[in-house]
Structures are given as C-alpha cells and as structure tokens.
Amino acid sequence: MPKLEKYHPILTPHYTFDWLTKARVKDVLTLQSQEQSNQALTMLTTADMINQTMREIFHDQKLVWGITQRSNDHLIGQAGFDPLNLTAKTGQLTVTVLAEQATNAVLTELYQRLVDFATKELGLTELRVTLPQPNPIVAAILTQLSFTNTTPTVFTWQA
C-alpha cells in the first residue's frame, strides 16, 4: 500500500497540486470562506484545519492538495480524495476552486489529472463525486470522464 505522504507535488500543464502547508493561511481562509460561508472562520481555525488535514494524510486516511497556478504560484483551489480507502480501492473525489477559476478549461484539466492519478497511481476502482449543488460544467466534464450521475449532484465511476 502506498504511503500517501509521498504524492506531492503533482503537476498538470498549468497547475501544481501540493500540500496545503505550502499555501498562505490567508489564501486557504479565502477559499474556505467561499465554500463554508455559514461558519465563523478565522486564521486560527484555518491553520487547525490544515494541520488536521496533514495528520490525516500522514495516516493514509485522505489525500488533499492545494492547487496553485504554475505561472504565478497563486492558490486557486483545493482537491483530493476525502475520504480515501486504499483497501477497498474507493475514494470521494473533491475539487473546490475560487469562483473566478470555475471555468470549463480549468475544471477539465483538474478533473482529468485527478481521475488519471486515482486509477494509475492509487489503483482506485471506484470514485464518487458529490457536488454541493448542481453544476452543468462539472456534470459535462464528469460525463466525458465516464462518470454516471445518480442524482443531479452525485456522480460515480467504476473501473
């Protein structure tokens, strides 16, 4: 079974997936605020979340990265497999990007690389994506990647 801590950085033509500890806490807070607008988030709670995420990665429970643009090193999102079960070869694929980055080109590059990584590196045979709300751009990308939608917000893929 692979040690998840060795899987960084991961590169795409335009993005780098690396540990959240490589990003500024302020940037991670901005991303968290976008997706969890109903919670009182602070720099301290964000730092705690980053530390807890890293502990879970080092215990092979999840694999989560910050996503930065290779051209300028700006954090644009977070992605990974949370939860991840290497024994059962299953994972929940998560991708969150800043609203201005949620374009077809960006999301296609991210999802393609993550699905490829899941199957070739981790040997996963089942993936699940649960969207917070219906998203036609992501739905089209996942359909192209052979995912089946069970509801407007839940997609599954099996080898």
Residue 140 has pLDDT above 70, yes or no: yes
User: What is the model's pLDDT at position 38?
Assistant: 64
pLDDT tens digits, one per residue of 96-123: 999 999 999 999 999 999 999 999 999 9
Q: What's the confidence (pLDDT) of residue 73?
A: 94
Task: List pLDDT tens digits, range 65-97.
Answer: 999 999 999 999 999 999 999 999 999 999 999
Q: What is the mean pLDDT of residues 39-45?
A: 89
Rounded to an integer, the average pLDDT of 52-70 is 95
Q: Is the pLDDT of residue 1 over 60?
A: no
Task: Tell me the angle at which helices 43-58 and 25-35 cross, rounded to the nearest 10 degrees.
Answer: 90
The correct answer on CATH 3.40.630.30 for the domain covering 4-158 is: yes
Looking at residue 116, its amino acid is: D
| pLDDT at residue 138, as a whole number | 97
Global pTM value? 0.94
Mean pLDDT of 47-57: 95
C-beta separation of 66 from 75 below 8 A:
yes
